[in-house]
Amino acid sequence: MTPDEFRHHGRAVIDWIADYQEKVESFPVLSQIQPGQIRNLLPQNPPLHAEHFENILKDVDRLLPGVTHWQSPNFFAYFPANTSGPSILGELLSAGLGIQGMLWSTSPACTELETHVLDWLVDMLGLPAKFKSDANGGGVIQDSASSATICALLAARERSTNYESNEKGCDRRLVVYASTQTHSSIEKAVKIVGLGRQNLRLIQVDEHFAMRPDDLVLQIKQDLQDGLIPCFVCATVGTTSSNAIDPLSEIGHICRKENLWLHVDGAMSGTAALCREYRYINTGLELADSYCFNPHKWMFTNFDCDCLFVANREILIKTLKVIPEYLNNKATESGDVIDYKDWEIPLGRRFRSLKLWFVIRYYGIKGLQHHVRRHIKMAQDFAGWIERSDSFELFCPAPLNLVCFRHTGGNSYNRQLLERLNKSGNLFLTHTILNDQYVLRCCIGQTHTEEHHVKQAWQQIQKTAMELGKTF
C-alpha cells in the first residue's frame, strides 16, 4: 500500500468509524447471535490473491451482528471500557509510527513521554508524590490491572525472599491476602507467580463489602504461628461487584507493622480522584507500595491502558531485569535512562502513552472532571429512583457511578428480569451475587451516555419488570 493509497483508504476507515459512532445507538447493545454464526459467514480458506481494500472494509459490516457495542450510550454492564475521538486518533498515530519501545534507546520519545504523562497523573489524581519519577518510585503503563497485579506480586515475592525466589523458586510458605470481593485477577496472579491458590487468604468483608482489618490481623497472626510468611495484601478502591472501598489506612498500618507489601487496585474508580471532592478514595495510599488504575475504563482512553505506580522502582526493576547481550547499549549502561522492559512481563511494548497524552491534552483536567462528575450525578439520580420505588431496592451504597439494585421479587425473578432486559437489545446490564442475593449492576461511565439514556433505561427496567410480573 503506497502512501497515496493509504491516504485514500485511511479516510474511508475514519469515515466508517465516524458513521459507526453516529449510529451505534441503533444497534442491539448486547450481540444477539448464536455461537458459530460469525464463523459461518467467513470463507473456509484464506485468499490466495490480494483483495481490494474496499471489499475488506465492506465485510466489516457483516461482523457487526457479532459485536457487543461497548461504546453504546446504553451500555451499563461490567465496568465501562470507554474511548474517545482523541484516544482513537492517538492509537492510530501510535500504529503508524510502529514503535517498539522496550528500551529507552529503541525510541527515547516513547519512554520519556510515558514517564512524563504518568508524573502528570500523580498530580492530576492527588496521588502521593513518592509515585513520581523524581522520587524513588515512578509509573509505567501496563496492558491491564491483571498484569499490574502480577508485577506487584512478583516484586513483593522477591522482597520477602531477598530475591532468592527468582534464583531457587518458591518454597510454598509465602501468603497473599485479599478480600472476598477482590477481583478474580488476584487468584490468577498467585497461580502465575507460583505461590499457589492454597496460599491465598480471602478476608471477610463488612456490611458495605469492604475488607475487615480485624480479620486480616487475625489471619496474619495465624499464618505466622503456622510458620508461614505473610507477603502481600491486595486492597481495592472500588470492587467489581459493588464498588466497595477497602479501608486503606487501617490496612496500610497493618502492612507496615508486619512488613507486608500493600498493593492497591484502583481499577475503574481511581479515575474519580480527578475531582477533589472524591479524593477521599486515596486516603491511605501514602502507605501503599504500589497502586494501579485503568484509564481504559473511565478516562476516555481506549483499551489497553493501565497505569501502575510503585513507591520503590528499584525493587520492581531488580525483580524483572534481564539483560541479554543483544540488548546492551550505552544509554542502559549509563544508568541515566528508564528501560520499561524491566517494569513489565513482556519485552516488547507499544507507544501507549501517546493516546493518553492526546486525551489529557484534548479534554484538559477541567473537561475530564466535567465528565466524571456528570456520570456520578446520573448514577446518583438512578440510585434515587431505585430508593423511591416500591418494587426495587438499593442493595448497597452507591458512592460513585455503580448502582447495585434488585427487584423485591427474589433471585429467580431478578435473573429472568436481567435476561429479558438484555435480550431486548435496548440496554445491557450485568449481575453479581452479594450475600447470596442475585443483584443487578448499572454502571454509568460511557463517553456518550446522557441523562435521557439513563431515564430510558430506568423506564425499560420498570416496564419489563411489570411484564414479567404478569407471567411470573
Q: Is the pLDDT at 470 greater than 90, yes or no?
A: no
Mean pLDDT to the nearest integer, 368-375:
97
Mean pLDDT to the nearest integer, 40-67:
94
Q: Determine, yes or no, domain membership for 421.
A: no
Mean pLDDT to the nearest integer, 83-94:
97
Domain encompassing residue 201: 92-357
Q: Determine, yes or no, domain membership for 125.
A: yes
Share of the chain above pLDDT 70, in %: 100
- Mean pLDDT, all residues of the chain: 96
Q: Determine, yes or no, domain membership for 255.
A: yes
pLDDT-derived band at 471, boundaries 50, 70, 90: confident
pLDDT-derived band at 171, boundaries 50, 70, 90: confident
What's the pTM? 0.95
Q: What is the pLDDT of residues 122-143, one digit of tens each?
A: 999 999 999 999 999 999 999 9
What local confidence, expressed as pLDDT, does residue 469 receive?
A: 85
Q: Determine, yes or no, domain membership for 464.
A: no
CB 74 within 8 A of CB 458: no
Share of the chain above pLDDT 90, in %: 97
Q: What is the pLDDT of residues 222-271, one digit of tens each?
A: 999 999 999 999 999 999 999 999 999 999 999 999 999 999 999 899 99
Q: Determine, yes or no, domain membership for 367.
A: no
Count of Cβ atoms closer than 10 Å to residue 354 Cβ: 24
First to last CA, the chain: 59
Total tally of structural domains belonging to the chain:
1
Q: Is the pLDDT at 429 greater than 80, yes or no?
A: yes
Q: Determine, yes or no, domain membership for 402.
A: no
pLDDT-derived band at 111, boundaries 50, 70, 90: very high
Mean pLDDT to the nearest integer, 63-87:
96
What local confidence, expressed as pLDDT, does residue 168 receive?
A: 93
Mean pLDDT to the nearest integer, 325-331:
93
Q: Determine, yes or no, domain membership for 320.
A: yes
Strand order in the sheet with 402-407: 392-394, 402-407, 437-443, 430-434
The enclosing domain of 120 has a CATH number of 3.40.640.10
Mean pLDDT to the nearest integer, 326-330:
93
CA angle 251/254/259 to nearest 5° reads 120
Q: Is the pLDDT at 472 greater than 90, yes or no?
A: no
The candidate with the shortest Cα–Cα distance to 208, out of 372, 440, 405, 397, is 397
Q: Determine, yes or no, domain membership for 9.
A: no
Mean pLDDT to the nearest integer, 315-337:
93
pLDDT-derived band at 50, boundaries 50, 70, 90: very high
Torsion angles phi and psi, residue 403, rounded to 5: -115, 120
